[in-house]
């Protein structure tokens, strides 16, 4: 449906989209956003990471899916076209299918990380589909030095290290070239659902959900004994 023939925009929805833009782009609650303000090229001139964050927020808030192929087209022409897309798709069912993981063969994927062994929070990688997904595990036995002062006597695996492990696995999943090393963490949004008490085998997965320029966003999940303990998204930036 073209912008010229589309139905009128719901003004309440338009204001809701503007509120999300003000929040995510840190414009301030009183910042004026015109209905026809371009999202690419105009006063906002969003870069790839800005667009990725806005897409993620819109998808989560309105429970819709914005396909990669429409991001650079009329949907992001301006604030109104983005709102119109939300209005037309907010009741559509999102496609939650994820690519099937295939065997990584004999490749030592941990060596693809830019980190040395002392700063790896992934013990083993079981399945990798380059550029699509990865599955791995981080084993913590309770003797690690970082646990000695982290709630002594009742240690808990630090969430920041679990997040780093998920980011490292996401870097492996997002690499579509077996000679590409890791990438750099651009953004992380991970929420914890339960503490992790050692000893534990922390099962992790990362699935690429979106590609935008040099950025690749992954849905990540950490579980212990089949119970989810952390989940969210990680964005990895690769050199051109």
- Active-site positions? 150
Give the integer Cα–Cα distance in Å for 123 and 115: 13
Contacts of 223 (CB under 8 A, 6+ apart): 202, 203, 204, 229
Contact 122, 169 (CB under 8 A): yes
Q: Any idea which residue has 């699935």 for tokens?
A: 207
Q: Any idea which residue has 């750099």 for tokens?
A: 184
Strand, helix or coil for residue 71? helix
Contact 190, 234 (CB under 8 A): yes
**Residue ranges with strand state E in the chain:** 124-129, 133-140, 184-192, 200-212, 215-224, 227-237
Give the integer Cα–Cα distance in Å for 39 and 32: 14
């Amino acid at each position: 449906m073209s912008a010229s023939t589309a139905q009128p925009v719901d003004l309440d929805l338009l204001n809701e989209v503007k509120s999300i833009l003000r929040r995510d782009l840190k414009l301030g609650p009183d910042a004026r956003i015109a209905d026809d303000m371009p999202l690419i090229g105009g006063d906002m001139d969003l870069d790839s990471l800005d667009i990725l964050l806005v897409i993620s927020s819109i998808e989560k808030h309105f429970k819709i899916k914005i396909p990669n192929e429409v991001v650079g087209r009329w949907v992001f022409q301006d604030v109104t076209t983005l709102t119109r897309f939300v209005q037309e798709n907010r009741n559509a069912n999102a496609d939650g299918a994820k690519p099937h993981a295939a065997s990584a063969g004999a490749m030592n994927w941990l060596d693809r990380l830019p980190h040395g062994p002392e700063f790896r929070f992934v013990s083993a990688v079981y399945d990798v589909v380059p550029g699509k997904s990865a599955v791995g595990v981080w084993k913590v036995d309770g003797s690690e030095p970082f646990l000695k002062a982290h709630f002594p006597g009742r240690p808990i695996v630090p969430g920041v290290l679990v997040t780093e492990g998920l980011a490292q696995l996401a870097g492996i999943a997002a690499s579509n070239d077996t000679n590409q090393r890791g990438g750099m963490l651009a953004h992380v949004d991970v929420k914890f659902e339960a503490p992790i008490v050692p000893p534990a085998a922390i099962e992790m997965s990362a699935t690429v959900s979106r590609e935008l320029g040099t950025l690749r966003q992954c849905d990540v999940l950490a579980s212990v004994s089949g119970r989810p303990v952390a989940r969210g998204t990680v964005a990895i930036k690769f050199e051109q």
